[in-house]
Chain A
Amino acid sequence: MSSSLTPPSATKKASQPTPQPLPVPPAAAEPAPTVVRFDHVTKQFNPQVRGLDDVSVEIARGEITVLLGLSGSGKSTFLRHVNGLQQPTSGHINVLGQAMEHASKPTLRSMRRRIGFIFQDFNLVGPMSVLENVCTGRLGALKGPRLGLMFYPKQVRQEALEQLERVGLVDRAYQRADTLSGGQQQRVAIARALIQHPDILLADEPVASLDPVSSRGVIELLQQISREKSLTVICSLHQVEIALNFGDRIIGLRSGKVVMDERTAEVGRDEVLSIYSKVSDVPDYPDFSESAGAVEVDLAGLKPEDRG
């Protein structure tokens, strides 16, 4: 990859203009530089609800961090603060040397070019070809709106093919994205994030909509990519088992607070489950989502004649 492909650094404050990683030493040597720093970050959604509550976290380059917690515990909110989709109510956030709170729109845009994002429901443009979907990952580095594969430079198209090859879907390049299976769509979404040449990859429950086999494939792919490029990955998950095998580090969130922050190697399964246990007495059914409760309300609120 030539250096011209890397997006220009956002501001003078961004301390690492080149994403070419310094040779990352193995764990024993001096610690890897911090790429994400949360300093007493609080997000108040409304007077009653806090998305994040006094969160202070440092994440080092090349680390795979898994966020665990119930729905509504602040996992997505955390991720959305890293790439500036949401702004904190108080506290400081520093990503790749750039302060994210109160950053200007152009600064945020150029920061987002360096931060890939993977969604639970993939968010591919269904009627578009797979290849064009991958190309859209480069929009931030291109000028003007684009619709149609031929409006992307040849160089971008060829690199998109390379990324598709990396995720094993190059033979589907000219198929409509919505004709692929869920697991395949998530791989395309990963290729779309990779073509950004991100320094950080955020993944918001990337396997929550997938079956176990596809989940495993997607997680292994993320793991390989992170190791190859010493890419920092922050990933929210629901499955404790996957988290234990996938991450270097597990951060547990509950009601926006950090209740656990451990190296995966040093933590036991029971300890991880304790993230959930104080809320629900059913540790092996952590996905006790709010919607399940809402259904009960509806049933109880119905008049008897409406039930029949």
Chain B
Amino acid sequence: MTATLVTPPRTSPIPPEKGFLQRLQPGRVVAAVVMLALVVGGIWASIELKINIASLIDSRDNAINFIGRMFPLDFPSPGETAALLWETLSIVLLATALSVVLSFFLALLAAHNTSPGTASMMISRFLIVLARAIPDLVLAVLFFRMFGLGGLPGILAMGLHSIGMVGKLYADSLEEIHGGTYTAMQTNGATWWQRVVTGYLPLWTPQLISVGLYRFDINLRGSVLLGYVGVGGIGLAMADALGSLQYHRGMALAFVILVVCILVEVLSGALRTAIHGNPGANRNRLARLFPEQSLWVTEGNVRRVRDTPPWTVGRAGRFLAMAAVLVLLIAAVFGAKVDLGAAGAGLLKLPETLGHFFPMETDPEILTAIVDGMVVTIQIALASTLIGAIVAIPVGVLAARNVFPNRWLNTTFRVLIVVIRGIPELILAIVFVVVSGLGGVAGTLALAVGTVGMLGKLVADSLEETDVRVQDAIRANGATRLQVFFSATLHQVTPALVAHVMYIFDNHIRSATLLGVVGAGGIGFLLLNASRVLEYPTVTTIVLAILVVVLVVEALSILVRRALR
């Protein structure tokens, strides 16, 4: 086998020219067909949802009217705001911590280089996909039924749903670690646990922390939506205010959320950079605080090398960071108003509670309504992906530093992306519901704006990661910037671009199932109503419908990712 590979026939080093059909690689065909389907579907959906320029202009009056009702903003007292924020942050912190801990173990079972067996690998991977497919809103509805009010339902809902992303990224990053240290521990006679902890954990920790921070960021934005089903904190306060048409108060709270989200996003981004970068300069300045400690110690009359590690900036920093996280987590347990008594009682009633959700609702009339809601949900995802991509791709191109290098231009678009990324989709949806009325148009526009933040960043990052040497070679031939972009950079970035668009569509399908909660169209509206009137069998049917659609799209994006490889 190897012999034929290693020694090619010397007689014809250049293969004969292939025909058109042979040049079509199956991977490219699949990717092209899916992309074409997304574009056609997006156009169809935009027409079905009646999104057009004229109706957007018509809603201008609504916007002006809305702004009039918003101002003056009515902020709660600083103490009240702080209390609401602390409750939200506590819930988000505990939820993220829960997902980090559970994902850690699931990833160990799911990654091929640590998994003890095929069965545990399949099961843990299935659990991760399942966690991603069930929206946290659905879990929250279930857990409220079980545990009643308080922080616990929100923590569990967000924590379990986050495993879908955190667990996957943890397993991926674990698989990327070079296995040499693990083998080295194996040759020492170490057990599985010893190998994993000593061989992998030191190399894995940066990813563990950085993915956790990233998810904290996402959960903070998601927690606002959970306010609509009763998860405490600032999201609940906002939902109550808007529900009772107090726009002055509601929009003031939305503004507070927006500011906090952007702050946390910037902070977590900076922390993540600090973890992966080399904090040389700062460390040297801090190092002066620690006097050089001698390698030698004297015990009695014996002078020998110390057997305890000296205190350095790094060691002190690690200890302080661990202590700080621990204190924060304990404080958060109180901040989130976790009622452990109710939790225990809820667990005891688990079978009974689950019984409320079965058998699922099969009344044809309700089924028709669910299918209609699902169609609108898919339309929203298709239309918002198309419209969003049309805006986001140019924005990403202009934000990338290597396509049209101009500091002022690139920075402007980078800042635009960061600001849009910071806005929770829910707040966009609320605004668009007021401006363009209840229904799919509001949801589409909200997600389309969100796309500019998400896809714009991905496009800009991918462009900056392309190999500049190819571009330089073409520019050296006298090509203009625009020619270089179309003849080299665009080719280099196309596979990544297709993957990103697929990711955005996947993401929008999930979001579109939920934005109906605020009246932005789609199946979420039915879900919220069914859970409000305690029609749990209907909830089950809706959840199954969501699961089917989400898993189909997930399978589609796996197909596209495989094809691009």
A157 within 8 A of B: yes
- B interface secondary structure, majority: helix
Provided the pairs A293-B7, A300-B13 are in contact, do residues A128 and B202 lie with their beta carbons within 8 angstroms? yes
| B205 to chain A: closest residue by CB | A127
Against B, the Cβ 8 Å flags (1 = close, 0 = not) of A109-138 are: 111110111010111111111010000111
B202 CB → nearest A CB, Å = 5
Assess the B5–A297 pair: CB atoms within 8 A: yes
Assess the B181–A125 pair: CB atoms within 8 A: yes
Residues of B near A121 (CB, < 8 A) are 180
Assess the B305–A296 pair: CB atoms within 8 A: no
A208 within 8 A of B: no
**Residues 294-334 (chain B) with a chain A CB within 8 angstroms:** 295, 304-305, 307-310
CA distance A109 to B187 in the complex (A): 8
Assess the B202–A127 pair: CB atoms within 8 A: yes
CB within 8 Å: A-B pair count = 131
**Residues 170-197 (chain A) with a chain B CB within 8 angstroms:** 170-171, 173-174, 189, 192, 196
Identify A300's interface contact among B8, B187, B196, CB under 8 A.
B8
Of listed B196, B202, B295, residue having the most chain A CB within 10 A: B202
Residues of A near B188 (CB, < 8 A) are 112-113, 136-140, 192, 196
Complex interface: stretch among A94-102, A145-153, A246-254? A145-153
A84 CB → nearest B CB, Å = 10
A161 within 8 A of B: yes
CA distance A174 to B190 in the complex (A): 23
Provided the pairs A48-B1, A293-B6 are in contact, do residues A139 and B187 lie with their beta carbons within 8 angstroms? no
Assess the B6–A290 pair: CB atoms within 8 A: yes
Number of A residues near B (Cβ < 8 Å) is 61
B424 within 8 A of A: no
Residues of B near A189 (CB, < 8 A) are 184
Number of B residues near A (Cβ < 8 Å) is 37
Residues of A near B205 (CB, < 8 A) are 127
CA distance A7 to B189 in the complex (A): 11
B183 within 8 A of A: yes
B321 CB → nearest A CB, Å = 14
CA distance A202 to B6 in the complex (A): 30
Residues of A near B7 (CB, < 8 A) are 293
Residues of B near A141 (CB, < 8 A) are 189
B185 within 8 A of A: yes
Assess the A139–B198 pair: CB atoms within 8 A: yes
Identify B185's interface contact among A48, A129, A136, A202, CB under 8 A.
A136
A10 CB → nearest B CB, Å = 10
Assess the A147–B201 pair: CB atoms within 8 A: yes
Residues of B near A131 (CB, < 8 A) are 307, 309
Assess the B194–A144 pair: CB atoms within 8 A: yes
Binding site for A on B (CB under 8 A): 1-2, 5-8, 13-15, 180-181, 183-191, 193-194, 196-199, 201-203, 205, 295, 304-305, 307-310
A112-B186, A139-B198, A154-B307 known; 11 new pairs, CB 8 Å cut-off, are: A109-B190, A109-B191, A112-B189, A116-B187, A127-B205, A145-B198, A147-B198, A147-B201, A161-B304, A192-B184, A293-B7
Shortest beta-carbon contacts, A-B, top 7: A140-B189, A145-B197, A293-B6, A117-B187, A123-B180, A113-B189, A123-B184
**Can you sample 23 A-B contacts with CB below 8 Å?**
A49-B2, A85-B186, A111-B189, A113-B188, A116-B187, A117-B187, A121-B180, A122-B180, A123-B180, A124-B184, A136-B190, A136-B198, A138-B188, A139-B198, A140-B194, A147-B198, A147-B201, A150-B308, A157-B308, A173-B305, A174-B309, A297-B6, A303-B15
